[in-house]
Amino acid sequence: MSQSERQAVADEGFTESEVATYLRSHPDFFERHLPLLRSIKLPHESGSSTVSLVERQVSVLRQRNDELEKQLAELFDVAKANNQLVDHIHKLAIAFVRNPGIEARLEILENALREDFGAERAVLLLFSGASQPPVARPGFVKSIDRDDEALKAFSTFLKSARARCGSLRDKQKELLFDREADSINSAAMVPIGEGAKYGFLTVGSRDANQFHPGQRVDFLGRLGELVEIALDNGR
């Protein structure tokens, strides 16, 4: 509304806010005043011409429809990804049941993380004395004392003992990924056991956006519970 139009409304004793409130309260106003509706013109978005109020409403509705379609497509993608995760976790659980030995289960877990969960790099860090598999898997399973100074870099994570996603600090990457530390730009960390009793699993990626703080971690928690049972029963 131009300055002159605002002044005209003010001269009639109404404010813009009052006019807007009245129209919201009487959505059939323009139906009862069709000539007025047809006469109203609004500046085009480009500013080069004018369009009728109806044309502008249609344009707004189309834009809103496009936004809703995009949101719906994103929800479908999320649902599809969640279904895939459920299938992968179910597949992993069945494999653990069929292979009770700890050595076999560690191999199954490492392969599943790489093939089904898309892990570029994964490390299962186990605390000494809590759970020590009889057969180590170099590059995947690491053992460390719970009181080791190096674990101070993970103090906040271990205190919360909750799955998290995001970037890792240099000291964290060095402990977990050794020579590949510089190539890991995001990671998901999953505590194993209540209070991270057994240790934790870390899945790393070169993609900085693969694991970000805004992600849901529900399925990571389920994975941690499954790994805990696999380690506990497989010893």
pLDDT digits (tens, 9 = 90+) for 68-92: 888 888 888 777 777 888 899 999 9
Helix, strand, or coil (residue 197): coil
**pLDDT reading at 117 higher than 90:** no
Question: Residue-wise over 126-150: b if at least 16 C-beta within 10 A, else e?
Answer: bbeeebebeeeeeebbbbeeeeeee
Half-sphere exposure of residue 171: CA atoms within 13 angstroms, side-chain side: 7
| Band (167; pLDDT cuts 50, 70, 90) | very high
For 182-187, the CB contacts below 8 A with 24+ separation are 183/121, 184/121, 185/210, 186/210, 186/211, 186/212, 187/211
State which H helix or E strand residue 76 sits in: helix 53-98
- pTM of the prediction? 0.67
Find the length of the chain. Answer: 235
Cβ atoms 136, 128 nearer than 8 A: no
Strand ranges for the chain from DSSP E: 41-43, 50-52, 121-127, 141-144, 164-166, 186-192, 199-205
Are the C-beta atoms of 200 and 228 separated by less than 8 Å?
A: no
The pLDDT of 38-52, averaged and rounded, is 60
CA–CA gap between residue 6 and residue 22 (Å, rounded): 16
pLDDT of residue 63: 83
For residue 235, pLDDT beyond 70:
no
